[in-house]
A and B are shown apart, each in its own frame.
Chain A
Amino acid sequence: MKGRPIAFLVTAVGAASVLLCGIFRKEIAEVLVNGALLCLSCVGIG
């Protein structure tokens, strides 16, 4: 129980670091391009 705040802080810092890493790798642009195209797998024709 006492370890939970520490676990949260470690998780939060780790999560923010991973997110920033993705942003610095310019992944948003690829997510944008992928999202702007119709996902044929989702529609069931790909």
Chain B
Amino acid sequence: MRFLARRISQALGAILPNAWLPGFLSATLYQGPLKGVCTPLLNCYACPSALLSCPIGTLQHFAAGGNVSWYAVGTLSVVGASVGRMTCGTLCPFGALQDLLYKFRGWKASLPHWTRYLRYAVLAVLVFIIPYLTRENWFSKLCPVGTLMGALPWVTMSADIRSMVHGLFWVKIAILLFFITTATMVKRPFCRAICPLGAIFSLFNKSSFLQLAWDPDTCTRCGKCREICPVDIRPDRNRTDPDCLRCLDCTRCPSLKLTTVFHRQPFGETAVPATVASSVPGASAR
């Protein structure tokens, strides 16, 4: 049921921020007031049906002008402080696509541990430093989400834009194909290694309002939580892992549940360990 709920929320995360369908029919962009709102998703604002603005594109735009967008940083911080990386796990359309691609049968691999640090370098270098130095949005130039949601529809719809295509477009296509291919073999490669938005949200996983709770008394350390985890982590070992997407797939196990940062005993009173319980008359272990 939770799995189905996540699929439904991912579908809504793809549809609702891209609900301006006249954009596809008339080959125009939505220019209404909602474009002033940054979506907490990696959702391309060049998509003809996009209603909201891309936060990473906004950060680059301000960095290219020598500024910091307090509005975009604040929006992402408020969302991160509330739910951590939950939007990555439950709403992001590109994350949903990678989840689906991994379901293809075939050779599977795991991502090296060091690659998780790449996303912070991408955030610092491609979103802030290089746009500041070159006055150009370099992450957007390479972004596979932009290729999928912005470049491909526009090149298909508009002859004018088709005539302006040059080498960069094909580089973007190659990057998109690389991540699509890799996602059939590795769980969410883009989210874990590259996504600058995920890098921002992962900074909040330790202190966000929503937290994952683990019950050591009922956990058998079977490792099934890692098998079903879309990013290959062990929530029983680290509940606030920066990679954790808070997708809640692991909460199918009764030893894991969603709680809040203020909830000290989410599983009720602490159970008496079995070894102690057997030696204490009248005590029972869960």
**A residues apposed to B, CB below 8 Å:** 4-5, 7-8, 10-12, 14-23, 25, 27-32, 34-39, 41-46
Contact = CB atoms under 8 A, between A and B. Distances in A.
Given A32-B35, A35-B35, A44-B172, A19 B151 contact: no
B29 A45 contact: no
A8 B206 CA distance: 9
Interface in B199-245: 204, 206-209, 211
Interface stretch (B91-99, B133-141, B190-198, B266-274): B133-141
B141 A46 contact: yes
Contact of A42 (B38, B82, B150, B204): B150
A16 B209 CA distance: 14
Contacts, number: 157
Interface string B169-191: 10111000000000000000000
A1 B282 CA distance: 31
A44 B61 contact: no
Interface residues of B, number: 60
A41 B136 contact: yes
Interface in B34-70: 35-38, 44-46, 50, 52-54, 57-58, 61-62, 69-70
Given A7-B207, A44-B165, A31 B38 contact: yes
A1 to B, nearest CB: 8
